[in-house]
């Protein structure tokens, strides 16, 4: 005897019968085409769908649609404004190629990144974009999945995967040099101690080029709080530096808050340049002079790398572009 609690699935034919239309018309309504359906007929079909509780077999549909129309993105934390903008640029770049983008956060405590990757891949994606630092084991997993993958973001190159980034070293060398050209001799750096991060090296090289002594060096997390803490330490330093290079806009904004709280004026008492070029950097006061990462170009390159993969290990670094605003001491529009 059949189990009455589990009725057989409702089919498209049931919907068609209930609505008094052909199954093709049901398809047109549910897929929004290819043929138009009169509004009243459309309403009748949707009513039938509701009444019968029809649910198209999603897996069967996914199989028939093929796996290549959607890309996956694993991102460490979408709240970080830089990554939020990167996600969005990747979404737009995917859309340009007619593909959707499924975004998954990897900073969960409850599940491992490997599980997140496996989950994402099991959802029929045609390629995987990773905006995160992978462990060797996670990277081996990605390589074993047999789908195109690319690493994007501030993580440098890696042997087993293609990667897209920005030339950190040249970017901070240019922004540090800009501060030196303002006449500041005592230039600090606030950034991370991460092995893959070349921003500190760019700062160091610019000081060496200008025959200046190394300035104060602070390592903090990439967050507003990290920047705030650094700002507090700079403010309280015995000899406060005249200028500071921040490794990210978030760090610079946190520093601005610490300086503001203490009545330390930017750029008059201490000048700042930062890195990223996020939208927020343009809406703090003073506005941040910052090395802009060309997110749109980077995102387009990442999507291209999935569709026409390069050899594993190939790294493409885009140049950052210094955008001059007020925090460095310039007066854009009003001369220096």
d(CA 99, CA 303): 10
Using the rule CB under 8 A, is 79 a contact of its own copies? yes
CA dist., res. 324 & res. 334, Å (int): 12
Q: Which residues contact 210 (CB under 8 A, 6 or more apart)?
A: 177, 180
Only one of the segments 140-148, 187-195, 269-277, 301-309 lies at the binding site for its own copies (rule: CB under 8 A); that segment is 140-148
Cβ distance to its own copies smaller for residue 62 or 216: 62
- Residues between 153 and 212 with contacts to its own copies, criterion CB under 8 A: none
Torsion-angle region of 176 (φ positive above 0: left; ψ -120 to 50: alpha; else: beta) = alpha
Positions 259 through 298 that interact with its own copies (CB under 8 A): 259-261, 279-280, 282-287
Q: How many CA atoms does the CB half-sphere of 203 hold within 13 Å?
A: 28
Q: Among 16, 21, 256, 291, which residue sits at the site for its own copies (rule: CB under 8 A)?
A: 256
Is there binding between residue 26 and its own copies (CB under 8 A)?
A: no
Q: Which stretch binds its own copies (CB under 8 A): 63-71, 164-172, 187-195, 236-244?
A: 63-71
Q: Answer yes or no whether residue 143 interacts with its own copies by CB under 8 A.
A: yes
Q: What's phi and psi for 150, nearest 5 deg?
A: -145, 140
d(CA 220, CA 133): 18
Residue closer to its own copies (CB basis): 209 or 269: 269
Q: Cβ(275)–Cβ(248) under 8 Å?
A: yes
What is the largest distance, in Å, between two alpha-carbon atoms of the chain? Answer: 89
Tell me which stretch binds its own copies (CB under 8 A): 104-112, 163-171, 199-207, 239-247: 104-112
Answer yes or no whether residue 119 interacts with its own copies by CB under 8 A.
yes
Distance of CA 221 to the CA centre of its chain: 17
Q: Total number of residues binding its own copies (CB under 8 A)? A: 78
Q: Does 55 bind its own copies (CB under 8 A)?
A: yes
Closest by CA position to 278, among listed 305, 252, 258, 306? 252
Identify which of residues 80 and 163 has a Cβ nearer to its own copies in the complex.
80
Q: Which of 1, 3, 4, 32 binds its own copies (CB under 8 A)?
A: 32
Contact pick of 225, 269, 307, 313 for its own copies (by CB under 8 A): 225
Q: Does 30 bind its own copies (CB under 8 A)?
A: yes
């Amino acid at each position: 005897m059949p189990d009455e609690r589990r009725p057989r699935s409702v089919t498209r034919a049931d919907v068609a019968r209930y609505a008094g239309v052909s199954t093709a018309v049901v398809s047109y309504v549910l897929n929004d085409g290819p043929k138009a359906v009169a509004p009243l007929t459309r309403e009748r079909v949707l009513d039938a769908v509701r009444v019968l509780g029809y649910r198209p077999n999603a897996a069967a549909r996914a199989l028939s649609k093929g796996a290549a129309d959607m890309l996956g993105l694993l991102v460490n934390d979408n709240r970080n404004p830089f990554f939020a903008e990167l996600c969005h640029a990747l979404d737009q770049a995917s859309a340009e190629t007619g593909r959707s983008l499924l975004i998954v956060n990897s900073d969960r405590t409850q599940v491992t990144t490997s599980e997140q990757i496996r989950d994402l891949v099991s959802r029929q994606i045609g390629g995987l974009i990773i905006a995160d630092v992978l462990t060797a084991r996670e990277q081996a997993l990605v390589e074993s999945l047999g789908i195109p993958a690319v690493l994007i973001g501030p993580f440098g190159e890696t042997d087993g995967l293609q990667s897209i980034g920005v030339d950190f070293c040249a970017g901070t060398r240019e922004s540090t040099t800009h501060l030196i050209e303002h006449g500041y001799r005592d230039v600090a750096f606030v950034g991370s101690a991460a092995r893959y991060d070349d921003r500190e090296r760019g700062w160091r090289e610019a000081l060496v080029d200008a025959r200046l002594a190394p300035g104060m060096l602070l390592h903090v997390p990439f967050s507003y709080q990290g920047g705030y803490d650094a700002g507090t330490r700079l403010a309280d330093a015995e000899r406060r530096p005249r200028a500071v290079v921040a490794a990210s806009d978030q760090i610079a904004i946190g520093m601005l808050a610490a300086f503001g709280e203490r009545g330390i004026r930017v750029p008059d008492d201490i000048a700042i340049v930062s890195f990223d070029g996020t939208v927020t950097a343009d809406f703090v006061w003073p506005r941040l002079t910052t090395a802009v990462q060309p997110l749109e170009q980077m995102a387009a390159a990442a999507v291209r790398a999935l569709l026409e993969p390069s050899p594993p290990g190939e790294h493409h670094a885009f140049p950052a572009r210094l955008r001059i605003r007020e925090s460095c001491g310039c007066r854009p529009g009003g001369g220096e």
